[in-house]
Amino acid sequence: METQKIIISGNLGEEVEEAVGRLSPDRLFLLTDHTTRDLCLPRLRECSRLIANMEASHQISIGATDDNKTLESLVDVWTALGEGGATRHSMMINLGGGMVTDLGGFAASTFKRGIAYVNIPTTLLSMVDAAVGGKTGINFRGLKNEIGVFNAADTVILDTGFLRTLDRENLCSGYAEMVKHGLISDRQTLDELLSFDLGDVDYARLSDMVAASVAVKERIVAADPHEKGLRKALNLGHTAGHALESLAMEEGRTVLHGYAVAWGLVCELWLSVVHCGFPTPLMRQVAQFVRENYGHFAITCKEYDRLYDFMLHDKKNTAGSICFTLLGEVGDIRLDQHVSREDIFEMLDFFREGL
Ligand code: GLY
Give the CATH number, domain containing residue 252.
Answer: 1.20.1090.10
Are 219 and 186 members of one domain? yes
What pLDDT, on the 0 to 100 scale, is given for residue 355? Answer: 63
Q: Counting atoms of ligand 1 from 1, which one is nearest the CA of 234?
A: 2
Closest residue by Cα to atom 2, ligand 1, is 234
Is residue 75 located within the same domain as residue 147?
yes
Domain that holds residue 203: 168-354
pLDDT at position 349, please?
97
Ligand 1 atom with minimal separation from the 177 CA: 1
- Ligand 1 atom at minimal distance to the Cα of residue 221: 5
- pLDDT, tens digit, for every residue of 20-76? 999 999 999 999 999 999 999 999 999 999 999 999 999 999 999 999 999 999 999
**Res 313: pLDDT:** 84
Last residue of a domain, one of 114, 132, 165: 165
Cβ of residue 129 lying under 6 Å from some atom of ligand 1: yes
Do both 134 and 215 map to the same domain?
no
Domain end point (choices 165, 185, 200): 165
Work out the average pLDDT over 250-259: 94
Q: Ligand 1 centre from 133 Cα, in Å?
A: 7
- Are 160 and 214 found together in one domain? no
**Nearest CA owner, ligand 1 atom 5:** 234
Same domain for 308 and 293? yes
Could you tell which of 231, 232, 242, 333 is best to mutate to test the pocket of ligand 1, judged by most ligand atoms within 8 Å of the CB? 231
**Ligand 1 atom having least distance to the Cα of 220:** 5
Tell me, in angstroms, the distance from the centre of ligand 1 to residue 235's CA.
Answer: 7
Return the best residue to mutate from 181, 224, 226, 235 for the ligand 1 pocket (most ligand atoms within 8 A of CB): 235
Ligand 1 atom at minimum distance from 135 CA? 4
Question: If you average pLDDT over residues 306-313, what whole number do you get?
Answer: 93
Q: What's the whole-number mean pLDDT along residues 88-107?
A: 98
Ligand 1 proximity of 257 Cβ (cutoff 6 Å)? no
Instruction: Give the confidence band of 319 by pLDDT, cuts at 50, 70, 90.
Output: low
Q: Whose CA is nearest to atom 3 of ligand 1?
A: 234
Q: For position 103, what pLDDT does the model report?
A: 98
- The type of residue at 85 is G
Evaluate: CB of 231 within 6 angstroms of ligand 1: yes
pLDDT attached to residue 354: 76
The tally of domains found in the chain comes to 2
- Ligand 1 centroid to 234 CA: how many Å? 6
Closest atom of ligand 1 to CA, residue 133: 4
Average of per-residue pLDDT values in the chain: 95
Sign of the C-alpha dihedral, residues 222, 228, 233, 236?
A: positive
Q: Is there a single domain that holds both residue 249 and residue 319?
A: yes
Give the mean model confidence (pLDDT) for residues 72-88.
98
Backbone angles phi, psi at 186, to 5 degrees: -150, 165
Q: Are residues 124 and 95 in the same domain?
A: yes
Average pLDDT over residues 139-143: 86
pLDDT of residue 142: 79
125 within ligand 1 shell (Cβ under 6 A): no
Q: Percent of the chain having pLDDT more than 70? A: 99
**Whether residue 182 is found in the same domain as residue 63:** no
Q: Measured from the CA of 235, which atom of ligand 1 is nearest?
A: 2
Of 165, 188, 213, the domain-final residue: 165
Expressed in angstroms and rounded, the spacing between residue 135 Cα and the centre of ligand 1 is 7
CATH classification at residue 127: 3.40.50.1970
CA of 46 to the centre of ligand 1 (A): 32
Query: 110 with 239, same domain?
Result: no
Q: How far is the centre of ligand 1, averaged over its atoms, from the C-alpha of 184 (Å)?
A: 13
Take atom 1 of ligand 1 and give the residue whose Cα is closest.
129
Same domain, 100 and 185: no
- Co-location of 18 and 77 in the same domain: yes
Same domain, 147 and 210: no
